[in-house]
Amino acid sequence: MPLTKYAKNFEIFDQSNDQVFRRQLEELNDPRIKFSKHVGHNIIDYLNWIINNWDNLPEVVVFAKGNMLERHIDKEHWERIYLNNHYTFIYNDKFLTDSENQFAGWSSDFTEINNSWFVSHSTHRYFTKTNQLIEFLYKSPRFPRYLTFSPGACYIVEKSRLQNKPLSLWIGLREILDYDFFPSEAWIVERLLHTIFFSEQDFKDYVYDEEKFLKAISELPDRSTEKVIRERNRFKVLRSRVYWKARSFFR
């Protein structure tokens, strides 16, 4: 577990279906290792951690996937930033190959065309487009052409930034993800976390009330049987223009 050497205080959440690996972890008898449901990918583990530690959050927390090193960030860049005490993307673009959907801004910014390309090959229930969740959450929704986020939802985040949002928000997002291992909604929340962390836009009234928010989620139409056709985008925009447009969203 190479990431653990960088932290004195950490918790590991394992969703593995590999019983051999799970037994190996259990034999360590380490209370910092938690076994969680095989749903919501790594993002639901982040949400559970926020919710369960709401009254005792540290001043700064690192949200990191176990395979983050050499997948989303190289070791050299990670060792430069991991002690940051301010909001930071845990990502660098060394691994990025430009495609019709994805490209980089600066060294730690990842930008993607907002076309929800992933929905056509993942399960979905509540949302089939990122814009649908934006509209569901915000009073005055804005639908960006581009989304900037940290791949894998790997961030360094301050306590104040987490608690600047209502606890009910994190509970509601958890509810949206709690039905399959890697649903479309997990991809969508991954793409919106930076917006949620960074923006000061007002949420709809029900988002501030746990009971009302969960009720609103339960009343969403079931989109699990919807056929989704992937939209294709032609990549003909200069990087500099893309970057600044993405950065200006919700600023």
Q: What is the DSSP string of 36-62?
A: --S-SHHHHHHHHHHHHTGGG--SEEE
pLDDT (tens digit per residue) in 126-181: 999 999 999 999 999 999 999 999 999 999 999 999 999 999 999 999 999 999 99
pLDDT (tens digit per residue) in 64-73: 998 888 788 9
pLDDT (tens digit per residue) in 204-236: 999 999 999 999 999 999 999 887 765 554 333
| Measured distance CA(83)–CA(133) in Å, rounded | 33
| Measured distance CA(128)–CA(227) in Å, rounded | 9
Residue 88 contacts residue 156 (beta carbons within 8 Å): yes
pLDDT of residue 232: 52
Task: Return the higher-pLDDT residue of 98 and 43.
Answer: 43
| Measured distance CA(166)–CA(172) in Å, rounded | 10
Q: Is the pLDDT of residue 238 over 80?
A: no
pTM as predicted: 0.85
Residues 6+ apart with CB under 8 A from 179: 39, 125
Q: Is the pLDDT of residue 88 over 80?
A: yes
Residue 14 contacts residue 30 (beta carbons within 8 Å): no
Which ranges of the chain does DSSP label H, i.e. alpha helix? 19-27, 41-52, 75-81, 130-137, 159-163, 167-177, 184-198, 210-218, 239-248
pLDDT of residue 194: 96
pLDDT (tens digit per residue) in 12-36: 999 888 889 889 989 999 999 999 8
pLDDT of residue 206: 98
pLDDT of residue 251: 42
pLDDT of residue 107: 57
| Measured distance CA(177)–CA(175) in Å, rounded | 5
Task: Return the higher-pLDDT residue of 155 and 8.
Answer: 155
pLDDT of residue 246: 39
pLDDT of residue 140: 96
| Measured distance CA(116)–CA(114) in Å, rounded | 6
Q: Is the pLDDT of residue 249 over 50?
A: no
Q: Which of 69, 65, 72, 66 is nearest to 94 (CA)?
A: 72
| Measured distance CA(63)–CA(88) in Å, rounded | 10
